[in-house]
Amino acid sequence: MRTTRLRFPACLATLSVVFSAQGVESGPQISPPNWWANMGASTLQLMVHAPDIAGSTVSVGDSTFKIDKVSSLDSKNYLFIDVDTSDLMPGDYALTFSKQGKQLYSALYTIEKRAHNSANRQGFNQKDTIYLVTPDRFANGDPSNDSVSGLQDKANRSAPGGRHGGDIQGLIDQLDYISSTGFTQIWSMPLLENAMDDHSYHGYAITDFYEIDPRYGTNSQYRQFSHQAGDEGVGIIMDMVLNHIGSNHPWMEDMPAKNWINHDGQFSPTTHRRESLHDPHGVQADQQAFSDGWFVPSMPDLNQRNPYLANYLIQNAIWWVEYANLSGIRVDTYSYSDKAFLSDWTARLTSEYPNLNIVGEEWTTNPVITAYWQAGSYRADNYASSLPSVMDFPLQDTLVNALKDKETWGTGLVSLYNLLAGDFIYGDPYNLVIFGDNHDMSRIYTQLEESYPLWDMAMTFLLTSRGIPQVYYGTEILMANPDSDDHGIIRSDFPGGWQGDKVNAFTQKGLSDEQRQAYNRIKSLLALRKDHPVVATGKFTHFAPADGIYVYFRTNDAGEGAMVILNKNNEVASVALSRFEPVLKRFSTAVGWQDKQSLSVKNAKVDVAPQSATVWLLQ
């Protein structure tokens, strides 16, 4: 059995362990490592891990620390304590663990004072633009932690799948770049410990749910990052993994319960047939083959039907929101977890934090399946979901094809129009996260065959359409992955993030003219969203594309508006505005966002440059 790791978290060492005189070498590891007074739910379940602790009795020196139940499962090294926190005040509480009248362990458990108005924190929303970062590949702020003793996967910047050294300090160092560009949220791929033998940089094979990987930094440094980002007006979205763990997680050598891992802890691959969850003609066996199967042997699939594991994952999410002052959560491989658990998980999180935004990854191009998970959507099976947002993969796929395909009656821009016309299936289409690419697919510049005009149209659309836009790091400087779909290449190092880099995108040193043009375009669009919020939050109204021209509007009740014209043609197009009178009748003048050209919207025509996206502010 792996030696129990005695943890003194960087969260100000909230858990202190006192050894007994019986000669026990390892003290108890308690999860969550601390909690807070006055949380919405008055229940807390502690997982205690220590040699031979199962079957212990637990006593507390303070009567306000009310223990409802103490449980042992299959492992002799785990104990679960259900606590009624309704009367708990901030402070340290002494826990004593005994067997047959003999004290085995004692520990102090800390209940902290909750931050003011924490429950009402505002999550990310339509006003925001999310910057997605692969932290290992963004900026190396602290070279001293590139390789860490005791962790097998060492720094090797020359290997696409190796660790390159990017870290939390690098993110802190570049907060000014991110905020000055105009991004208002940062979603980082997972930063938790991944004690895997190789390819640990991506972060999705977690081996400790409560500890930042030391090659990235510490818990306290992550909290510092969140606080400093907040000072810059930037929120932090944490990437959470509920479906699986890394095969080097201590649970794989000592499971708290026999059914902790699906398929008895033995690899059995998922079918990836997410359709089985929604099939009215389907069978349960197909559903379980999807949900209970593993991605790969190195990612054991968690069984969230076990109520103790479900509680562990729910409390872990709440703990990080509270500890690191998060503005949102992105949930990896959302639909692969147990459906009933997902219902409970989202209900508990949104009950604790009514305004927190949570976006689930459901990688399908079928909008019916995407919509199923969002709160407020119609579901034939009456499934209860409190998930506020979903990644809009259908829009990503359609946008690329709409820009690349030939303009015909049924292809090209009309496919984008057709998809958006189906938004009625969503509980809230304006709260979907929209994007051109992410860390698991070719970069948008590559997908669009490195055509700058098509890239410009795609980014303009994403930053002026309905939904919450997400931009992958490097998109603003046209990072690409030509001739390779290797994830390590897609997630290449951001130039300038390492000492000695010949190109520095943070200062624009060494960038090509086209890269500078792209950066300035993104920065200008983000400034447009900030200076004219109607572009980001207004009602979306569009007209069916015709002759390679697609026109849509963002308007609000305050009399503000914006008109966006996409011209896919290879020549200048003259667009008569009379067709758009149902929207334009509220306005008298259109002013070009960039050229400041002003014209009357009555019976006017607008000349639009070839292969371009233009924005007009309406007055």
Task: Work out the average pLDDT over 191-212.
Answer: 98
Question: 552-569 as b/e, with b when 16 or more CB fall inside 10 Å?
Answer: bbbbeeeebbbbbbbbbe
CATH 3.20.20.80 domain range(s) in the chain: 127-242+317-534
**16-114: in CATH 2.60.40.10:** yes
| Residues paired with 461 in a beta bridge | none
Outline where DSSP puts E strands in 173-298: 185-188, 192-193, 208-212, 235-241
Q: Does 361 participate in catalysis according to the annotation? A: yes
pLDDT digits (tens, 9 = 90+) for 46-80: 999 999 999 999 999 899 999 999 999 999 999 99
Task: Work out the average pLDDT over 233-237.
Answer: 98
Catalytic residue, candidates 332, 362, 437, 493: 332
Task: State how far the Cα of 300 lies from the Cα of 567, in Å rounded to an integer.
Answer: 48
Residue 580 in this model has a pLDDT that exceeds 60? yes
**Residue 603, pLDDT score:** 78
Task: Work out the average pLDDT over 591-598.
Answer: 94
**Residue 452, pLDDT score:** 98
Residue 111 in this model has a pLDDT that exceeds 80? yes
Task: Work out the average pLDDT over 367-385.
Answer: 97
Residue 495 in this model has a pLDDT that exceeds 70? yes
Task: Work out the average pLDDT over 584-594.
Answer: 96
**Residue 18, pLDDT score:** 41
Nearest Cα neighbor of 418 from 291, 248, 549, 542 is: 542
**127-242+317-534: in CATH 3.20.20.80:** yes
CATH number given to 538-618:
2.60.40.1180
**Residue 26, pLDDT score:** 55
Q: In sequence order, which residues have a C-beta less than 8 Å from that of residue 187 and are 6 or more positions away?
A: 130, 131, 132, 133, 237, 239, 328, 330, 470
Residue 8 in this model has a pLDDT that exceeds 60? no
Question: Per this entry, what is the length of the chain?
Answer: 619
Report residue 60 as tokens. 């507390």
CB atoms within 10 A of CB 127: 14
Nearest Cα neighbor of 436 from 410, 473, 405, 409 is: 473
Measured between alpha carbons, how far is residue 117 from residues 23, 40, 355 in Å? 45, 12, 12
Could you tell me what percent of the chain has a pLDDT over 90?
A: 95
Report residue 618 as tokens. 């309406």
Task: State how far the Cα of 358 lies from the Cα of 388, in Å rounded to an integer.
Answer: 6
pLDDT digits (tens, 9 = 90+) for 305-352: 999 999 999 999 999 999 999 999 999 999 999 999 999 999 999 999
Q: Does 332 participate in catalysis according to the annotation? A: yes
Q: 495, 505 in Cβ contact below 8 A?
A: yes
**Residue 71, pLDDT score:** 98
Task: State how far the Cα of 401 lies from the Cα of 61, in Å rounded to an integer.
Answer: 65
Task: Work out the average pLDDT over 146-152.
Answer: 97
pLDDT digits (tens, 9 = 90+) for 554-564: 999 999 999 99
Task: State how far the Cα of 424 lies from the Cα of 426, in Å rounded to an integer.
Answer: 5
pLDDT digits (tens, 9 = 90+) for 433-460: 999 999 999 999 999 999 999 999 999 9
**Residue 1, pLDDT score:** 29
**Residue 256, pLDDT score:** 98
| Residues paired with 95 in a beta bridge | 60, 107
Task: State how far the Cα of 474 lies from the Cα of 476, in Å rounded to an integer.
Answer: 5
Segment holding 36, helix H or strand E = strand 35-36
Task: State how far the Cα of 351 lies from the Cα of 258, in Å rounded to an integer.
Answer: 31
Instruction: Indicate whether this model's pTM tops 0.85.
Output: yes
Mean residue pLDDT of the chain comes to 95
Catalytic residue, candidates 344, 361, 476, 560: 361
3-class DSSP state of 321? helix
Helical segments of 422-551, H only: 444-447, 452-462, 487-490, 513-531, 534-537
- 3-class DSSP string for 342-373: HHHHHHHHHHHCCCCEEEECCCCCCHHHHHHH
| Residues paired with 573 in a beta bridge | 608
Q: 91, 110 in Cβ contact below 8 A?
A: yes
CATH 2.60.40.1180 domain range(s) in the chain: 538-618
Measured between alpha carbons, how far is residue 403 from residues 36, 373, 391, 485, 548 in Å? 50, 28, 20, 21, 10
